[in-house]
Each structure stands twice: as C-alpha cells, then as structure tokens.
Amino acid sequence: MKTVSSVEAQNHFGELLDNAQREPISITRRGRPVAFIVSQHDMAELADARNKRSQAVADFEAYFAGVDARLSAEAKALTEADVKRMVKGA
C-alpha cells in the first residue's frame, strides 16, 4: 500500500486516483493515517465482506435466540457464576 501525506495528496490527486486502481493509497496527516483511496472494485469487495459479516452475526444471534427459547426453566435460572462453576467442575 502506498502512503502519502495530505499535502502530497492535494498536489497529486489525479495521479493518486490512477494509482488507486492498482493498490490502495493511505493518506496521512502529521504521520497518522486519516483516509484511504481505494478503487471501486476494492470498495465493492469491502462492502460485500461487511454485508456478509452482518448477515453472519444476525444468523448467529437468531440461532442462539432459538436455543434460548428451548431452555428448561432450570437452565434459564442458572447464573453466569453457576455456569462457570459447572464448567470448572468446582
């Protein structure tokens, strides 16, 4: 990944847009990354990965909500400390 200062980015913006088609560009201010320029293709891949992650989290939460719905009254009454004690065998 190429890194440039914000001043360089201002002075060479068109060139950075061209370069971003080949690799992401990190823009820094006072030595710290503050922004990135990525190609449309890379951005689409990032958005797709984010959507897949969100769906996986939703599926995970739905699965455990279903499991919780099937718990017995005794299991629902267990505290976190009870579960830890049972897991550790103490």
- pLDDT band of residue 55 (cuts 50, 70, 90) is very high
| C-beta of residue 25 within 8 angstroms of C-beta of residue 13 | no
- Domain presence at residue 76: no
Are 52 and 66 in a shared domain?
yes
Are 23 and 50 in a shared domain?
no
Proportion of the chain above pLDDT 70, given as a percent: 99
Share the mean pLDDT of the chain. Answer: 95
Closest CA to 33 of 11, 10, 3, 12: 3
Prediction pTM value: 0.65
Are 10 and 29 in a shared domain?
yes
**Please, which residues bridge with residue 25 across strands?**
2, 37
Q: Reduce the DSSP state of residue 4 to 3 states and report it.
A: strand
How far is Cα 28 from Cα 81, in angstroms, rounded to an integer?
47
Structural domain total, the chain:
2
pLDDT of residue 89: 81
- Domain presence at residue 79: no
Per-residue pLDDT averaged across 32-40, rounded? Answer: 97
